[in-house]
Structures are given as C-alpha cells and as structure tokens.
Amino acid sequence: KPAQTSQVVSAEYFPPTATKVMMNLGDPDLAEKYASLPADGIGLMREEFLWTTYIHQHPLYLIETGHPERVVNELASGISKVARAMNPRPVVLRFSDFKSSEYRNLKGGDKYEPHESADLLGWRGASRYYDPKYIEAFKLELAAVKKVRDEFGLKNLNVMIPFCRTVDEARKVVEIMVECGLKRSADFKIFMMAEIPSNIILADQFNQFIDGYSIGSNDLTMLLLGCDRNNDTVASLFDERNLAVKRAIRHLIKTAHKDGKTVSICGQAPSEYPEFTEFLVKSGIDYVSVNPDMVKATKRNVASYEQRIILDHATGLGKADPEDYEW
C-alpha cells in the first residue's frame, strides 16, 4: 500500500514547542485511534507487543520449523500499521527486549531459553542480537524493518537498540544492521536506549554509533539505585527523581549534545511526574515520550515550562537551576 499522511484533527489548540512531545505505544491496533492525539511522533514502540499480539511463537522455533517468513510478514504488518497511522510523524521501533522468562512463554520457547536467576540482568536486548544463538532471529527483525521502509515506503520508521551494555556491543549491532542494508542516513536514524549506567558514563564513546538516545528511566533508576523495579519490598526506594538519576540525565544530555546527538526519554518518569518533565525541559532534553493519556497535558506543560524559561532568561529574575544536578 502507498504511504498515507495522517492528520491531527483536534478542536483544541496546542502551541508548538521546542521540546517535542512523543508518545509510547503498546498495542499496535490502537495506533489509528491515538494518531489523532497531538503527539509529534512515537518515541517508543515496543516490539514485544507485536510478538504477543500477532506471532505468539518463539522466533528460533519458527526458524527451525521452516517458517521464518512468518516473523518478517507479521512484524512488518504490525509495524506498518503504526508507521502508516502516524506518517509523516516519526516512529521509533525498539527491537525485541524480552527477558528469557518472557521468551519462554512464546510457543516452542522452552528449548531455546536459559533459566536465569535474574533475567532483568540476563540475556536481553543487544546481547542477543550478535549472539550466534540468536542472530538469525535478529536478522528477521531487521528484514521486517527493511520491508516496511523499502517495500511499503514508510520512511518515517526509525529504530532503537535496547539494553546495550558496552560500546563494543553497540558497534557489533550496528555492523550487523549495515550488513543487512540498514545504514544510518539523513532519513534513517538508529537510537539507543540510555538505561544502563555505562550508557551514561561512556556516552562520549557510544555517540559515534548512533543518532541519539532515549532514556529508559525504569531500568536506569533500577540500576543506579540498585533497586529491583519489580520488587514491592523496595518499591518506596525506587524513585526516578533521586538526585543520582537527575545528575546522570544532565550528564547524558551534555555529552550527547557535544556531538550533535539527540536525547529523548521513554521511561515512565515524565508520564508520572510533571515536575520531572520540567526538570527535563530545563536540562535541554530534545524529546519527551509519554503514555497516550498524558500527551495533551504534557504538551501544555512543556509549552508553559518553555515560556517560563524564556521569561526567566529575559528578565534575569528566574532562579538558577540547582548546581546539584551537575555531575
């Protein structure tokens, strides 16, 4: 099908903002409905939903039983629903980030998945993509992206690498992408989640492989505070507003911007705490991606934070941002 252009039809007025407001999308079948929201694009489309909604089977099982094309076709069909609904606004698809226990729930998965005592810290994200045990499945994800962009003509589709622990991993994954015909260019961007402390500390080195970052404040908070995001006993300690998280974010924005890389956020923090969004805007973030039910409020909030910043700057009356945030 040819690419179509969606239109934002809304009686409400939302002033344009320098900080773009994107939305996180789960269920691809809701893309059409949410496309009418005044979001500037999709900042996080989680690929896992495509697997649990349409495919239901483990990719290695499908490869072994001779049906790899099912993966490509189903993924491409789900991704294109979203890219078409949002076109020409950008959509960032995040490659699969299932944990091994989640992969095991897909049909046939038991055979291929290790039993890990802490799978949030295990075989997930980038560590799978170059692994000889998973690489063929990753190549199917890449083929689906190529199909959507080249065959369906939806060039608004960009991609993101999750849970990338080392600079060497980033290099390996990007190399595989290039081999499979997905090279960074002016109209195809590769982003990386910034959700592991190493991503922040070594951002100056990660910069060379990507176009920008999206902060995964859920995992980042867990790993900076040493606080399991799924453990109720320590839930009161899990707080994205902790100064350690804020300093890390400030440092990332500075380091990314030095090399002209963009910074977004797609974790839950700005969907939950408007004051966190204010901190992000003041820190110079480029995009904030929130849940669909927070898009309108965030658009309004960002516009007023930006106006306040301009006013404060012009009058010299604004309070200086606390230096506490500096690394």
Backbone angles phi, psi at 215, to 5 degrees: -75, 125
217 binds, among Mg ion, ligand PEP, none (CB under 5 to 8 A by kind): ligand PEP
Q: Does 216 bind Mg ion (CB under 5 A)?
A: yes
What track of x and - describes contact with Mg ion for positions 238 through 277 (by CB under 5 A)?
A: ----------------------------------------
Identify any residues that bridge with 157 across adjacent strands, giving them in sequence order: 91
Find the shortest distance in angstroms from Cβ 65 to ligand PEP: 28
Task: Specify the residue, 22 or 154, whose C-beta has the smaller distance to Mg ion.
Answer: 22
Nearest distance from residue 2's CB to ligand PEP, in Å?
32
Dihedral of alpha carbons 77, 82, 86, 88, sign: negative
How many residues comprise the chain?
327
List strands edge to edge, sheet with 20-25: 262-265, 212-215, 190-194, 157-161, 91-94, 42-46, 20-25, 287-290
Per-residue contact flags (x/-) with Mg ion for residues 176 to 215, judged by CB under 5 A: -------------------x--------------------
Distance CA 213, CA 203 (A): 9
Shortest distance, CB of residue 319 to ligand PEP, whole angstroms? 29
Give start and end residues of each alpha helix (H) in 203-273. Answer: 203-206, 217-225, 243-258, 269-272
Site for ligand PEP, residues 208 to 227, rule: CB under 6 A: 216-219
Report the sign of the C-alpha dihedral through residues 179, 184, 189, 190, in that order: positive
Query: Of 174 and 222, which CB lies nearer to Mg ion in the complex structure?
Result: 222
Applying the rule CB under 6 A, the residues between 265 and 304 that interact with ligand PEP are: 266-267
Instruction: Select from 213, 215, 209, 216 the least CA-distant residue to 176.
Output: 209
57 binds ligand PEP (CB under 6 A): no
Q: Please give the angle made by the CA atoms of 138, 139 and 145, to the nearest 5 degrees.
A: 95
Interface residues for ligand PEP in 65-104 (CB under 6 A)?
97
Which of ligand PEP, Mg ion, none lies near 40, with the C-beta cut-off 5 to 8 A by kind?
A: none
Measured between alpha carbons, how far is 99 from 130 in angstroms, rounded to an integer? 16
Q: Does 50 bind ligand PEP (CB under 6 A)?
A: no
- Site residues for Mg ion per CB under 5 A: 195, 216, 219
- Site residues for ligand PEP per CB under 6 A: 46, 97, 195, 216-219, 266-267
